Structure 1
């Protein structure tokens, strides 16, 4: 995580890799998990698009929002493509190393406040990285995810500027493989069952999965993620089986039904 210097000069943040920045400077933030459908505060522009060279996987434990320390939930993180190729992820083939999401512009007037908010929201194993972000050429008006009514274009944004923009330097929070919450490859059927039974202060784990899946499908015709789609399909099938009293299917063990709770501040990206 970034650290802060509260000296007499302007505040600075040290990102992973030793990059120092003025925390009062405006910046772009890339969201690929809950930030896609639950935006940060104070953004004044939002762009759908993608980054390259990463793989999105539900391989990060969540002890503080979609689970508890005693029973961690599961949330997404990004794995560098080169590192992903060294892992035994036999469950999904990699057809593309682009990861779709949304980029938010945070103005300088709120930069320090939003950085502090993100440090709390992303505290459970995530660290700051920077990567080029490629805005979508798709018309913005047709790509606002209905899964999140709050993901609406601010009145002062400029949707028509999307198609011809150059890549933007974006801040992104990533749960690196060295962080203690990184779990690595997991059998998708077991992962789906775990997501269904997990719950934390921010609500049910399945809500995080379903909202992310819906938002990604609606960002662009190209933005669907097969790993997310597969987990959604598996969870839906398991839920249908549970409703029929078949909770002990192929995953072995009854799935516990959990209630919904009002969304609190998210930790996931």
Structure 2
């Protein structure tokens, strides 16, 4: 699959008659909220874990020197904590472009901190997209992140802001915190 998923996502969901929908953010959507929302609250999804396995050729790196950003990988029993936003469907005009580098919209069940649930959407970059980099040792991921920079800034800023945001949410993410520790150890 092409890494540019804008048109694919626009054909993927029909928002006819929908006034609002929940969106789950687990990466930069936690801390870089450059879209209007109607409501925001912490949430989690089950069966997924956050990994720095997606290449960023358009935001935190370049085609010649891609950065690494997070995607979700299926893992039975895992819980991924993040932030949920109730948004108007027109927000996806912007988000589909922002998340175009290999991310597809999927439907998921969100569990809010009070135990209530709702159906929503989440962007996931699956391994069949051209920008998927896959598994690597945390230290190697940190080295790649340390040297990558793109139009949205240094890849290290993405990692550090995400780690800080996860701590503020009270989220445990061993992988993110390990990559962060490797980055800081090499600094």
TM-score normalized with structure 2 length: 0.91
Aligned residue number for residue 81 of structure 2: 100
Listed as ranges, the gaps of 5+ residues in structure 2 are none
Query: Per residue, is there more strand in 1 or in 2?
Result: 2
Would you say 1:171 and 2:121 are equivalent positions?
yes
Would you say 1:14 and 2:11 are equivalent positions?
yes
User: d(CA) in 1 for partners of 2:23 and 2:146?
Assistant: 29
Q: Which of 105, 109, 120 is the matching residue for 2:97?
A: 120
Aligned residue number for residue 253 of structure 1: none
User: d(CA) in 2 for partners of 1:2 and 1:122?
Assistant: 8
CA contact (8 A) 2:10 2:96 kept: no
TM-aligned CA distance change 1:28 to 1:102, over 3 Å: same
Deviation at 1:48, TM superposition (A): 0.5
Deviations 1:196-232 (A, max 9, x none): 0110000000000000000001112xx1200000011
Count of residues in Structure 1 that have an aligned counterpart in Structure 2: 183
Aligned residue number for residue 266 of structure 1: none
Deviation at 1:13, TM superposition (A): 4.6
User: d(CA) in 1 for partners of 2:35 and 2:68?
Assistant: 24
1:157-196 → structure 2 map (5 Å cutoff): 163=114, 166-196=116-146
User: d(CA) in 2 for partners of 1:45 and 1:123?
Assistant: 24
1:200-215 → structure 2 map (5 Å cutoff): 200-215=150-165
Aligned residue number for residue 47 of structure 1: 41
TM-score normalized with structure 1 length: 0.64
User: d(CA) in 2 for partners of 1:175 and 1:23?
Assistant: 27
Aligned residue number for residue 172 of structure 2: 224
Aligned residue number for residue 250 of structure 1: none
SS in 1 for 2:84: strand
Deviations 1:148-191 (A, max 9, x none): xxxxxxxxxxxxxxx25x21111111001111111111111111
User: d(CA) in 2 for partners of 1:75 and 1:48?
Assistant: 21
User: d(CA) in 1 for partners of 2:10 and 2:31?
Assistant: 26
SS in 1 for 2:156: helix
Aligned residue number for residue 134 of structure 1: 111
Deviation at 1:20, TM superposition (A): 3.4
User: d(CA) in 2 for partners of 1:215 and 1:40?
Assistant: 16
Two-structure CA RMSD over aligned residues (Å): 1.9
Deviation at 1:2, TM superposition (A): 6.3
The structure having more radius of gyration, on CA atoms, is: 1
User: d(CA) in 2 for partners of 1:238 and 1:23?
Assistant: 52
TM-aligned CA distance change 1:40 to 1:29, over 3 Å: farther
Query: Per residue, is there more helix in 1 or in 2?
Result: 2
